[in-house]
C-alpha cells in the first residue's frame, strides 16, 4: 500500500480499516461513487442495498480482488489499495463471497487448509496435523461438517460453512461475509449467528451483507445503505425496516408481504403417500402427503437436506417415484419428464437459477419465451416476432422487469433481475399449479417485493402455489399453511392462525 489518505479520527475507537472516497468506474459506468466508512473492532457493519447498488464492488476492493479507480484504504498505518487478495489477507482482511472457491474433489478438511497447510521436514505436508487443525476449526465454528467428506457431495449450504471455516484458518482482523445465510437452514444460520457474536467479542470487525431484514437488528451495529453506487446513509442497526427500505429504494413502503387471498377453491394439487427412489448423498422422501387448493399458498420449511427440495422436484418429474401418487386437478398422474408436467399445467421454479433455471448466454426475453414457444401463447409452427414482443412486454410488466433490457444476456443481470426473468418464464404459459423452490434466495428487498406481489396476484387469480423456502419469516408472511419436513418426512402442519416461530423451529429437529 502507498500514497497518503485523510485519516480523520474516529468518534469511538480507532478503526481497523478506514475506507476513504473509494470509487470504481467501468468505462462510462460508475459502479461505486466515493464511498467513505470506518470498520470498528468488535463491530458488525452491515452493507444494505439492492442488487447492483455497489455492495459486491466495495467488498471486492476491500478484499483485494478488485482495484479501485479512485480512493484509498488505510490499515496498519499504511494508505493506498490492496494489490491482491494475498496482500489483503496479509493485512488481516478475509472474505467469504457468494461464489465459492472450493475444490470439489478434495475433502472438507483439505479445502479448509488449502494453501496454508502445515509442513514437516523437507517441506512435506503434515497431513495428520492438517486434518486435526481442520477438525478444530469446524468444532470451533459450531457447524455440522465431516472433515473427510468430499466437498462435491455437500449441498450448497454445507459448502458455505466450509468457506467460512476456510476464512477463519488465520484469525482475521476484518471478516467479510457476503450473503452468508442465503443457502443456510434456520438451524445453521443460528450457528453462524453465534459464531459472529463470538468473533465480535474477540474484537474482529465484520462486514456483513444480507437481504434478510430480520438479520440486521439481530446481528448488526451499524448499517451503511448503498443505492446506485452511492453511499446514502450510515445508520444504527435498529433503524426501522420501513426506513431502511426507504433509504435503499428511494421510496416509501407500506409493508413487505401482500395480503393473502381469503377465498380458496377446490384442491388443485394433491400428493398422497409419496416416496422417492433412494439416491446416494440425499435424504430420501418417505410417505409425504399434502394438498394445495386454488388460491392457496402452502409453505414447506425445514433444515437444508431435509428433503423439501427433492419433494418439489418430484412434482415436476425430476425425481423418480418409488410409491405414491400425484393428483393434479383431480387427475392422478406420474410425470416422466418436466415437459409432461408443463403440458398438464404444473410449473417448477428451481432453487439454482443460474445452473438449472436460465440459459445465461441467451437474452432475457429469449429465456422468458423459451418454454412458451412450445406450451404457451407463442406456440406455433413459425416464430411470430411481433406477437412475441407484445407478450414479453406484458410479462415484463407483471414481474417489474425493465422491458428495454429484454435483449441483454441473462448473465449480465443481478440475481434479483435473473429471478424475475425466471418467474416470467413460468408465467409465459397457462399454468394452474406453481412450485417455487427458494424463489428469493440471494436477492434484495426491492426484487423480493416484486416477486411477492406476483405470487399474490397468482394466488388471487386461482393458482395453487407450493412455496419451498429456507427463509422462515418469508414463509410466515406469504403462506396460508406451513408444513415442516424433517429427515425426508412431513413432520407437522401449522395453519396461519397457529404460526409461532419458536414452535415451528422446534419441529426442525
- Write out pLDDT tens, residues 258-281: 999 999 999 999 999 999 998 876
Could you tell me the CA-to-CA distances from 18 to 53, 75, 79, 92, 384 in Å, in that order? Answer: 20, 7, 9, 14, 56
Residue 3 has pLDDT above 70, yes or no: no
Instruction: Give the per-residue SS3 of 127-158.
Output: HHHHHHHHHHHHHHHCCCCCCCCEHHHCCHHH
How many residues can be counted in the chain? 509
Q: How far apart are CA 289 and CA 330, in angstroms?
A: 15
Specify the CATH number for 255-345+431-509; select among 3.20.20.210, 2.130.10.10, 3.40.50.300, 3.10.620.30: 3.40.50.300
pLDDT tens digits for range 372-392: 877 766 665 566 677 778 889
Residue-level pLDDT at 9: 33
Question: Helices (H) and strands (E) in the chain — how many of each?
Answer: 17, 20
User: Binning pLDDT at 50, 70 and 90, where does residue 11 land?
Assistant: very low
Residue-level pLDDT at 423: 95
User: Binning pLDDT at 50, 70 and 90, where does residue 311 land?
Assistant: very high
Residue 8 has pLDDT above 50, yes or no: no
Chain mean pLDDT for the chain: 88
Q: How far apart are CA 98 and CA 104, in angstroms?
A: 16
C-beta neighbour count of 320 within 10 angstroms: 12
Q: How far apart are CA 98 and CA 183, in angstroms?
A: 10
Residue 6 has pLDDT above 70, yes or no: no
- Which residues, 6 or more positions from 278, have their beta carbon under 8 angstroms from its beta carbon? 284, 322
Region 46-57: mean pLDDT is 88
Lowest mean per-residue pLDDT among 21-25, 61-65, 124-128: 124-128
For the chain, where do the domains classified as CATH 3.40.50.300 start and end? 255-345+431-509
Amino acid at each position: 500500500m502507498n500514497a497518503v489518505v485523510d485519516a480523520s479520527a474516529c468518534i469511538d475507537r480507532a478503526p481497523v480499516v478506514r475506507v476513504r472516497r473509494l470509487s470504481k468506474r467501468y468505462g462510462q459506468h460508475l459502479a461505486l461513487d466515493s464511498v467513505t466508512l470506518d470498520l470498528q473492532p468488535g463491530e458488525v457493519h452491515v452493507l444494505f442495498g439492492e442488487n447492483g447498488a455497489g455492495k459486491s464492488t466495495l467488498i471486492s476492493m476491500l478484499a483485494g480482488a478488485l482495484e479501485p479507480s479512485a480512493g484509498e484504504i488505510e490499515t496498519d498505518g499504511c494508505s493506498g489499495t490492496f494489490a491482491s487478495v494475498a496482500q489483503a489477507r496479509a493485512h488481516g482482511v478475509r472474505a467469504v463471497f457468494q461464489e465459492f472457491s472450493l475444490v470439489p474433489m478434495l475433502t472438507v478438511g483439505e479445502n479448509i487448509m488449502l494453501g496454508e497447510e502445515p509442513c514437516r521436514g523437507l517441506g512435506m505436508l503434515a497431513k495428520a496435523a492438517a486434518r486435526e487443525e481442520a477438525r478444530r476449526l469446524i468444532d470451533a465454528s459450531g457447524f455440522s461438517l465431516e472433515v473427510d467428506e468430499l466437498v462435491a457431495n455437500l449441498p450448497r449450504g454445507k459448502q458455505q460453512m466450509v468457506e467460512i471455516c476456510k476464512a477463519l484458518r488465520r484469525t482475521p482482523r476484518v471478516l467479510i461475509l457476503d450473503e452468508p445465510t442465503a443457502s443456510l437452514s434456520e438451524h445453521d444460520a443460528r450457528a453462524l449467528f453465534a459464531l459472529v457474536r463470538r468473533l465480535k467479542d474477540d474484537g474482529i470487525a465484520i462486514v456483513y451483507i444480507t437481504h434478510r431484514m430480520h438479520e440486521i437488528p439481530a446481528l448488526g451495529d451499524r448499517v451503511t445503505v448503498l443505492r446506485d453506487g452511492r453511499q446514502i446513509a450510515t445508520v444504527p442497526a435498529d433503524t426501522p425496516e420501513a426506513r431502511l427500505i426507504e433509504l435503499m429504494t428511494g421510496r416509501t413502503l407500506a409493508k413487505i408481504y401482500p395480503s393473502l387471498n381469503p377465498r380458496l377453491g377446490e384442491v388443485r394439487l394433491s400428493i398422497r403417500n409419496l416416496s422417492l427412489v433412494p439416491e446416494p448423498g440425499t435424504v430420501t422422501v418417505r410417505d409425504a402427503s399434502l394438498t394445495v387448493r386454488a388460491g392457496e399458498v402452502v409453505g414447506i420449511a425445514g433444515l437444508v437436506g431435509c428433503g423439501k427440495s427433492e419433494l418439489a422436484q418430484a412434482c415436476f418429474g425430476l425425481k423418480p417415484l418409488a410409491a405414491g401418487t400425484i393428483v393434479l386437478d383431480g387427475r392422478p398422474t406420474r410425470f416422466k419428464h418436466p415437459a409432461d408436467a408443463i403440458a398438464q399445467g404444473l410449473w417448477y421454479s428451481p432453487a439454482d437459477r443460474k445452473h438449472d433455471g436460465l440459459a445465461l448466454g441467451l437474452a432475457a426475453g429469449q429465456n422468458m419465451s423459451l418454454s412458451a414457444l412450445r406450451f404457451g401463447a407463442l406456440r406455433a409452427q413459425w416464430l411470430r416476432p411481433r406477437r412475441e414482443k407484445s407478450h414479453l412486454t406484458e410479462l415484463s410488466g407483471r414481474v417489474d422487469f425493465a422491458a428495454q433490457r429484454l435483449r441483454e444476456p441473462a448473465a449480465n443481470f443481478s440475481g434479483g433481475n435473473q429471478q424475475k426473468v425466471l418467474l416470467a418464464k413460468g408465467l409465459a404459459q397457462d399454468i394452474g399449479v406453481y412450485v417455487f423452490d427458494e424463489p428469493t434466495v440471494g436477492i434484495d428487498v426491492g426484487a423480493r417485493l416484486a416477486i411477492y406481489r406476483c405470487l399474490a396476484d397468482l394466488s388471487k387469480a386461482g393458482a395453487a402455489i407450493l412455496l419451498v423456502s429456507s427463509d422462515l419469516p418469508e414463509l410466515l408472511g406469504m403462506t396460508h399453511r406451513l408444513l415442516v419436513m424433517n429427515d425426508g418426512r412431513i413432520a407437522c402442519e401449522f395453519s396461519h392462525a397457529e404460526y409461532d416461530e419458536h414452535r415451528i423451529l422446534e419441529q426442525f429437529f
